[in-house]
Amino acid sequence: MEKDGQMQAIAALLERAAYPKQAHYALAALQDVRALVGEVPEAALPVIAEAMGMEVSALAALMRDSAQFTPQLEAGHRLAVCQGAVCIGRGGGELLAEARRAFAGTAGLSVAAGHCLGQCLQAPAASLDGEVIAPVDMHALVRAVAALEG
């Protein structure tokens, strides 16, 4: 389904279902959205959050904490976020902390502090299963981990 079509279908579902505006119905709404369009698109989070009377950040946290909405990978994938001096100077410490939070529920993926990857000119850097990503930010990490699925 193309993006506009997805968003229309989701809006129609939320209107039809008229979930009570209570956080504990949010998981049901997320499951229904995924059943309808095959995923919970990031662009739909504000619409779903509004329908459920929640903040977008609370809805995102609910998804992150639910094993149903976090990627489940084959065991043994390793993400290392460089903690060398140059990368630290360019936000590598915050990136590691954020990656640990974001991927805490992702089975099969370990997140660790890494040594200098020799990519200091492009810092911050990370490696996923030995593949260097530089410069790297949270979006790039989320995309790279998503690409491991399937």
The residues of the shown chain that bind ligand FES, judged by CB under 6 A, are 82, 84-87, 116-117, 119-120, 123, 125
Closer to ligand FES by Cβ: residue 75 or 121: 121
What is the enclosing helix (H) or strand (E) of 143? Answer: helix 138-148
Closer to ligand FES by Cβ: residue 50 or 98: 98
Min CB(145)–ligand FES separation in Å: 19
Min CB(96)–ligand FES separation in Å: 11
Closer to ligand FES by Cβ: residue 44 or 117: 117
- For ligand FES, which residue has the nearest CB? 84
Min CB(147)–ligand FES separation in Å: 22
Alpha carbon separation from 116 to 94, 96, 129, 143 (Å, rounded) = 16, 14, 15, 22
Strands 72-82 and 126-128: antiparallel
Asked whether the beta carbons of 69 and 104 are under 8 A apart, the reply is no
What is the enclosing helix (H) or strand (E) of 81? Answer: strand 72-82
Min CB(117)–ligand FES separation in Å: 4
Closer to ligand FES by Cβ: residue 34 or 100: 100
